[in-house]
Structures are given as C-alpha cells and as structure tokens.
Amino acid sequence: IYAKCEELRWPVFLHPVDTIGRDRTQRFYLRNLLGNPYDTGVAAAHLIFGGVLDAFPRLEVNLPHAGGTLPGVIGRLDHGAKVRPELAHMKQPPSAYLRRFTYDTIGHDDRINLNLVRLVGADRVLLGSDYCFDMGPVKPREIVEQQLALSKADRARILSGTARRLLRL
C-alpha cells in the first residue's frame, strides 16, 4: 500500500479509529480528547521506528490533531533512540523525521500551532477543520488568519499552499 501511494503520489491521511486505552478513556470523552492525539503519535512513531519512512522516502503522511503527541514527545523519542537497545537500528534521531509528515491546525491552542510551525515549518502545516465533528473549530480559517506571530507568507502556506502542493492542485 505504501509503495503504491508513493508511486501515485497519494498522501496518506493517518487518522485514528479505535484508539488506545479504550477501557480507561470511556468517561469524559477522553477517547477523543486524549485517544486521538495519543494514537496519532503512536502511529507516527511506528512509521519512524518501523522504517516505513526510510523504505518509502517520497511517501507523504498527514498527521491530524497537529501531529498529536509526536511533536510534544520528540525529545523523549530522540533520547530513547540513543539509549534503548530496541532502537539501536535507528540511523538518525526521530526528530529528523518531523518534516517527513504534514500536520493540520487542529491543536486547539495557538501555542501548539505556533510551536508546530517552529518545529517543522509552515510548508508542512495545513488548515484543518475536523468538519463535521464538534471537536472542530467553528471558523478554522480564523485560527490562522488571526495569528499575528505568523508572517503573511506562512499564513498563505497554511491556508492553502501546503495543501495545494500536497494534493498537486
């Protein structure tokens, strides 16, 4: 599947369905609030540690939930790759793969989205809506348009440029 997606230049949208910790996340809507970002990070880590991104260097994978837990734990993953025998096969640190993914703006916090842009660049971030679910922002464009810390060029990348490149529009 990865080879065919890479060949056709089809981006993979990696969204969780049946999230981890189901028995512990039933209450308080935690299955979505925590489960989706955790699963996004777990799936991304599998692609990194499992060698999928090395085997398919042109494969484009989009991570929802502003990358989930991946950006926030990338230092921990880097450290683990240095000290854990299970990760001795890694030829480069996990953080070297951050720009191999694209990310949406569903971080629900300007600080999260700005940090994401700082970590990977606006050319790897695209507008997310989470339409038609209640966890999506009512006006997703405003999240980007009102972010004064972004340059006009970065706003344009996030609002349309990154998606146009990714989808070859």
With a pLDDT cut of 90, the percent of the chain lying above it is: 87
Structure tokens at 11: 């981006």
**Residues in CB range of 3: below 8 A, 6 or more apart:** 56
Structure tokens at 4: 């065919």
> Is 152's pLDDT higher than 80?
yes
- Kindly indicate the confidence band of residue 98, based on its pLDDT and cuts at 50, 70 and 90: very high
- Give the count of beta carbons closer than 10 Å to the beta carbon of residue 35: 21
Judge contact between 122 and 147, C-beta under 8 A.
no
Whose structure tokens read 């999240």? Answer: 143
> Is 128's pLDDT higher than 80?
yes
Residue at 99: amino acid letter: R
pLDDT given at position 89: 97
Structure tokens at 142: 């405003």
Structure tokens at 21: 């910790």
pLDDT digits (tens, 9 = 90+) for 49-81: 999 999 999 999 999 999 999 999 999 999 999
Distance, C-alpha 146 to centroid of its chain: 22
pLDDT given at position 37: 96
Judge contact between 39 and 63, C-beta under 8 A.
no
For the chain, the average pLDDT equals 95
- Kindly indicate the confidence band of residue 147, based on its pLDDT and cuts at 50, 70 and 90: confident
DSSP summary character for residue 60: -
3-state DSSP assignment of residue 165 = helix
